[in-house]
Amino acid sequence: QILPSKEAERFKQVIKMYENKQYKNSLKTCNQILKKYPNHGETLSMKGLVVNGLNGKKEEAYDLVKQGLMKSKCKSHICWHVYGLLNRGDKNYDQAIKCYRNALNIDKDNLQILRDLALLQIQRMETAGLVGTRHKLLELKPSLKANWLGFALAHYLNKNYSTALMVLDKFAETMEGAENKYEESELMMFRNTVIFDSGNYEGSLAYLNECKGKILDTTAVLECRAKCFSALGQKEQAKKVYLDLLNANPENRNYLLSYVQAEGHSLPSWTAECSEEVAAAVFKTVEDVATKIPKSHSLNRVALDIATGPAFRQRLIDFTKPYLKKTIPSLFSALKSLYRCPKKVQIMGEVFSEWEASIIGNNRFPDEDEEAAPTTTLWLYMLVSAHKYRTADYPGALEYINKAIDHTPTVEMLYILKGRILKHMGQLDEAWEAVEKARLLDTADRFLNTKATKYLLRRNKIKEAEQCIALFTIQPDDSPSYTNIMDMQCMWYELEEGDAYYRLGDVITAMKKYLLIDKHFQDMEEDQFDFHNYCLRKFTLRAYIDLLRFEQRAHSHKFYQSAAERVVKGYLHIFDAKEKGEDLQAKVLKLKDDTPNGVDEKKEEDKKKKKKAEDDEEEEGDSQDAKAKEYDMQVNLEDPLGAAIPFAADMVLYNSGHVPAWTLNAEIYLRKGKPLLVLKHLLGAAKVDSSNATVKSLAKELYAQVDSNSGLNEHVKSVLESYRAKLL
């Protein structure tokens, strides 16, 4: 249906008002058009989009958009575009891409739809489709620099390196290029990245020489040159460049590791296990570098990881003694990685015992005439306590930390260490008391406040923990502190609070806390949309590529993996409770009413009723309610196993070396009655740890199901039987 000119002009106003977020005026204009032309599909679709923006009524919005599509007989690019925008808003990106493609089938040269499609394709990393979309955008708008860079980037992400270089060369010929030296420098570095990733290391070196003096990021140039020399086997040149980098940044351990690798030593990381011969050779190399860069603290620390025997003993003394004399708190964390090696632990114990005997007896270090300061004795007590704590001698650690506190009772870190020791001894109340003393010594310290909050949560004191952390969260008016914590994406707090609720039996509230962490990662993914166009306009292509690669591995982060594991366990608990006929919702209400730790929602409601708000305050209250609603995560009680599967799949995809990632998947499919999928995940777990007790237990459950299921397909049964001996 084609609108007359007056209504067509009104329809343009509808789109303009929607883009300016004037939803009420836009809805009013839509209704005026529909009053005269109720079958106009495009207006119906736009009304759906406006309704969604105005009050978030999803069902009504989708109904209106679908009506619009039907009225236009699916031949309107605007209706398809609107349907795509609605799906994109709900993060249903695959469906949105289909809608945009349908819109382009009708209007293939629509720039706005092409831009929206390109954004979603790079968001989903559909690089093959992105190349075609970016090519079309470049054809339609060749005067825009961002279109040239977007097309080159699409080919680079699709690993068409030669084509990406051709596009960049053509861009340099036909366009003026960068507007300033920074943009020119970034463009050159991006071109060099394409050359390097294509495997043309000689070409990369030649191009860097050609651009000498024009690239502003000199560190990146040196790093790339060193990588090229290493890849080409030119070890001496690589070592020379890495030495230049170490002189510029003596504390960068990665440069030192690369130097060691260029020397010909096969050492993947500083903490990797290696033979004594390799360790001796690496230690010699590190000592050689240390003579050239004497001020590097990292070199001295790395030497401790590599050194063995008498060399380690001397290095330990040289490294640790200045820390003790200057009372530097980071000493205890600096030595942490050394406790993986039993031989080094033994030497450390011997050295610390010698120092203790000498300082307590003679008030000086062995082989020194100068008297030790009183603070050295204090730090030695703390060092010995930390050493015993690391070796699981908790009574001994507690004895020495008490000596340190008796010596100087005003040092916060002493109480923090005491709290850790008591926690490992199972004395959670006493542990919190120690940490609380540390917090009260310096109430302006955020770290101490964080520790006190964490220990309260481990005692299941949720309300007190919320009040404690609220001291460091900004609270506009009377908004609850937890919404500010959610805004700050404070994931450790959400994990600990969820664990506290779980221990108290409130599984559903615990699940809501864990699901918040998933929401934070979804928000991070959504935040990419802000950069897709910006980075092309500003020429920050290298940082943009780093962002895209980070997002691809974001779910491997320890906070997400910890939350995913808890979510899967929670959904398994919910499924088992449903099977037993338990009412988990009733438990939530009972827990919140009966325990002092529950959030007293009734008081909050009474407070709101009493408060007479003005118009602006009412609007602010509405926004706070919307925020509280946004953070009230929905737990799937209808299909808990189906809801658990995506989280379990992420665990295997990003953390396949973790046995529970496999066993939790197996538990889901055991309950769903999918024996082949159970077998697949048990075999994956057995590959990581074949003697794991959980794997054996689940294998017994699997084969008990197989033996009792007479209707099982013979082919499936034969596959399962072929692995029985291996798993049992």
Please tell me the distance from the alpha carbon of residue 338 to that of residue 312, in angstroms, as a whole number: 11
**pLDDT tens per residue across span 115-151:** 999 999 999 999 999 999 999 999 999 999 999 999 9
Task: Give burial (CB, 10 Å; 0-12/13-18/19+) of 535.
Answer: buried
Give the pLDDT confidence score for residue 673 in this predicted structure: 92
Residue 156 has pLDDT above 90, yes or no: yes
State phi, psi for 173 to the nearest 5 degrees: -75, -45
**pLDDT tens per residue across span 208-229:** 999 998 999 999 999 999 999 9
Q: Which position has the token pair 């979603």?
A: 120
Contacts 24+ apart (CB under 8 A), 118-125: 118/150, 118/532, 119/529, 119/532, 119/533, 120/88, 120/93, 120/96, 121/97, 122/154, 122/157, 122/532, 122/548, 123/93, 123/525, 123/528, 123/529, 123/532, 124/93, 124/94, 124/97, 125/157, 125/548, 125/552
**pLDDT tens per residue across span 280-323:** 888 899 889 988 888 888 888 888 988 888 999 999 999 999 99
Residue 476 has pLDDT above 80, yes or no: no
Per the structure block, which two tokens stand in for 606? 């009474």
Please tell me the distance from the alpha carbon of residue 582 to that of residue 568, in angstroms, as a whole number: 19
- Calculate mean pLDDT across residues 507-532: 93
Domains assigned to the chain: 5-178 (1.25.40.10)
Query: Band of the pLDDT at 630, cuts 50, 70, 90?
Result: low
Alpha carbon 275 to its chain centroid, in Å, reads 35
Question: Which carries the bigger pLDDT value, residue 595 or residue 212?
Answer: 212
Helix axes of 394-407 and 412-424: crossing angle, nearest 10 degrees: 160
Query: Band of the pLDDT at 612, cuts 50, 70, 90?
Result: very low
**pLDDT tens per residue across span 78-98:** 999 999 999 998 889 999 999
